[in-house]
Amino acid sequence: MSVNLYRFARNVVKIILTPIFRIQTVGRESFPKEGGVLICANHIDNLDPPVVGITSPRDIHFMAKEELFHAPILKQLLPNINAFPVKRGLSDKGALKMGLKVLKDGEVLGLFPEGTRSKTGELGKGLAGAGFFALRTNAAVVPCAIIGPYKPFRKLKVVYGKPVDFSQYREQKLSAEEATEIIMDEIRKLISAHK
């Protein structure tokens, strides 16, 4: 991983996307300054990962679908900008282990719990992976709402919610599915409060 390449890529993307989509960021002040952080965002467009990447106060490691790592340019670029592959539709032990390591090392992991883009723009059902990471680590869980549309010169809003305290849920031995539902509910609240 090259920190310099990540920062360079983020700055370039920021210069390009911010004026086109008039990106407005809300809630950065409540983002934890240190320690493991799990960002969970809704997924409405292919540009969501770079948009979350440029609005987050800290560098993010993203799980990305494995197919992207076979594309000619992306297979060189993605590992150098903190992305790692995940096989969709399966329990990918390697990706889960990598995600846990990122969080236990006190870094930031970015996830889109729905697993795929919403065709309607409405929030879909979250997959168990988000809940798994929230329950298996002491990371702060930060819900994030991306409120579109992605149309040139129309305002796009990225809202970071206050970290959700998962310590009580860890003690209650919640299932990963139940934990994900709590996270999705926080994202839903952000969307309705900031639309």
Q: How confident is the model at residue 187 (pLDDT cuts 50, 70, 90)?
A: very high
Q: Considering only CA atoms, which of 69, 66, 137, 138 is closest in space to residue 97?
A: 137
| Phi, psi angles (nearest 5°) of residue 77 | -75, -50
What per-residue confidence (pLDDT) applies to 121? 86
- For residue 1, is pLDDT > 70? no
Distance, in Å, from the CA atom of 89 to the CA atom of 55, rounded to the nearest integer, reads: 29
Q: How far apart are the two ends of the chain, measured CA to CA in Å?
A: 36
The string of DSSP letters for 133-167 reads HHHHS--EEEEEEEE----TTS-EEEEEPPPB--H
50-54, 87-91, 162-166: least confident range: 87-91
Task: Write down the CATH number for the domain with range 3-194.
Answer: 3.40.1130.10
**pLDDT of res. 168:** 92
The predicted structure's pLDDT at residue 2: 59
Average pLDDT over residues 27-55: 97
**Average pLDDT estimate for 155-181:** 95
Q: How many percent of the chain have pLDDT more than 90?
A: 79
78-90 pLDDT, tens digit each = 988 899 998 876 5
Q: What does each C-alpha distance from 77 to 3, 12, 60, 81, 95 come to in angstroms? A: 13, 14, 15, 7, 18
pTM above threshold 0.85: yes
Cα 51 to Cα 133: distance, rounded to the nearest angstrom? 22
Burial group, residue 45, by CB count within 10 angstroms (0-12, 13-18, 19+): middle
Residue 106 to residue 136: CA distance in whole angstroms? 14
- Ranges 108-112, 117-121, 176-180, 183-187: which has the least confidence: 117-121
